[in-house]
Amino acid sequence: MTVYDSQLLNDHHRLDAFDCGKAELNTWLSSSAQHCNRNNTARTFVWTEPDDLNVLAYYSLAGHIIEKGALPPKLGRGSPGQSPAVLLARLALDKTLHGQRLGGVLLADSMGQIAQAVQHVAARFLLVDAIDEEAATFYERYGFKRIPGDNRLYRKMSDILASLDH
């Protein structure tokens, strides 16, 4: 199995062949990812083969705030009105990588980037808005919990940092 290193998306990466099987994620990568990088609204990291600029996987991260009332009561208790968070805005693997158990590796890669960032900028939660039930189930396998009545899932940063230390 090839080991992929995440790289910050740049203008040299080729996006046109990327197909994860979900049109919304394909379109966002090709039409919005570079714009978001330039405007500092999200950072997109990509995987490529060595010496190849075709994108095989990507994830996007953004700073976020979650309102106390949007959290389950147990998490919101004792919190300020808002808590800092990181939003895992997108995560997708090209269909050529499906079935190789690389989704969890890509998720771990994103968490590694976040762990580095929270050494400098505080965040209490990692949030993800699952695109569909299949995606929600995927995130639950990796310790995310659903926020009732929503497609939003969360993990506490303290739990992520502890799991990365092992």
Percent of the chain with pLDDT over 70: 96
**What are the beta bridge partners of residue 92?**
58
- For the residues 26-34, what does the mean pLDDT come to? 97
Residue 139 annotated among the catalytic residues of the structure: yes
d(CA 9, CA 15): 10
The domain limits of the chain are: 7-165
Task: Please return the burial class of 17, using the count of CB atoms within 10 Å of its CB with bins 0-12, 13-18 and 19+.
Answer: exposed
Instruction: For 15, list phi and psi in degrees, rounded to 5.
Output: -110, -15
Which CATH architecture is the domain 7-165 placed in?
Answer: 3-Layer(aba) Sandwich (3.40)
Please give the model's pTM, rounded to 2 decimal places.
0.92
107: CB partners within 8 A, 6+ apart: 59, 91, 139, 142
Tens of pLDDT, residues 101-129: 999 999 999 999 999 999 999 999 999 99
Of 4, 58, 139, 154, the catalytic one is 139
